[in-house]
Structure 1
Amino acid sequence: MLDLVIPPGPGIPHGLVVPAAELDERFSRSSGPGGQGVNTTDSRVQLSFDIAASSSLSDTHRGRLLRVLGPRLVGTTLTVDAAEYRSQQRNRAAARERMAGLLRQALAPPPPPRRATRRTRGSVQRRLTAKRQRSELKAQRRRPPD
């Protein structure tokens, strides 16, 4: 089994390598395409990663992952399934890509908070002038009062 390599990105400037020993792969029969081979080959892959027990993560990364991925976790374990391909090898690669994408996205820092701004006096005046003109136009279309 190979290490899971996450390329550098926001929140992980030097990238991240999760050792293969910290990943757990399980195989089972897939319900997807495969004809007669579906019943005989274990092509479905479940890749699990225990975030709390990982030695490759810093405390800040571990805390961010547990907070952001909380709803997806079972205890402190993140599990990803892959069963879209007929080949176990391709499903293993797909599971690793999915796991790396989830970890990379979760490790990205949150966007900066929105800074409140005020409309300019000119934009307020233009909006009110346009409303007045539209109102006058519609008033001209009405029947005159009796």
Structure 2
Amino acid sequence: MLEIAPDLSIPDEELTERFVRASGPGGQNVNKVATAVELRFDVAGSPSLPEPLRARLLARRDRRLTDEGVLVLNAQRFRTQDRNREDARDRLVAFIVAGLHVPKARVATKPTRASKQRRLDEKKRSGTIKRGRTVRTWD
């Protein structure tokens, strides 16, 4: 069971882990042992996620999400399978926790009449300053 929040957890049956050979350092061992982890989680089809959270996660423009709504995380930062597995699960938790935050709805506002007037006055002032910089050659 993967704990996300006190009221949200994902059973291990919903996670698919595949162990593959990692690239990078590791000496001769790197060619023999599959230490990298590819963790897959079906965001679109998971019964554990509430619908609003699922919608927020799927709406994110994340290259790790496939067109079918499956999140694919590759972890090969460490040399051992266990630490890479833990790293992939931690990153999955971070991804879901980021979706728990509900963005505040933006309230559309209009500029006040005074702020419009200040803007126009400032534009006139800077225009006059720029006009004063011109060099007159016809005098």
User: Structure 2-normalised TM-score?
Assistant: 0.77
Secondary structure in 2 matching 1:41: coil
Q: CA deviation at 1:17?
A: 1.0
Specify the code of the residue in structure 1 equivalent to 2:110: R
Say what the alpha-carbon RMSD is for the aligned residues. 2.7
Q: Does the Cα contact within 8 Å between 2:17 and 2:39 map onto a contact in 1? A: yes
Q: CA deviation at 1:5?
A: 1.2
Q: Does the Cα contact within 8 Å between 1:48 and 1:79 map onto a contact in 2? A: yes
- CA gap of 1:86–1:73, structure 2 versus 1, over 3 A, is same
Q: Name the counterpart of 2:97.
A: 104
Q: Name the counterpart of 2:2.
A: 4
- CA gap of 1:90–1:125, structure 2 versus 1, over 3 A, is same
Q: Name the counterpart of 2:129.
A: 137
Secondary structure in 2 matching 1:101: helix
Percent identity over the alignment is 42
Q: CA deviation at 1:52?
A: 5.0
The answer to whether the aligner puts 1:16 opposite 2:14 as a matched pair is no
The runs of 5 or more residues in structure 1 that have no matched partner are 8-13
Equivalence map 1:1-146=2 (5 Å): 3-7=1-5, 14-51=6-43, 53-68=45-60, 72-73=65-66, 75-112=68-105, 114-142=106-134, 143=136, 145-146=138-139
- CA gap of 1:29–1:70, structure 2 versus 1, over 3 A, is closer
Alpha-carbon distance between aligned partners in 1 of 2:23 and 2:62, rounded to the nearest angstrom = 28
- CA gap of 1:135–1:64, structure 2 versus 1, over 3 A, is closer
Aligned length: 137
The runs of 5 or more residues in structure 2 that have no matched partner are none
- CA gap of 1:64–1:123, structure 2 versus 1, over 3 A, is closer
Specify the code of the residue in structure 2 equivalent to 1:5: E
User: Structure 1-normalised TM-score?
Assistant: 0.74
- CA gap of 1:133–1:60, structure 2 versus 1, over 3 A, is closer
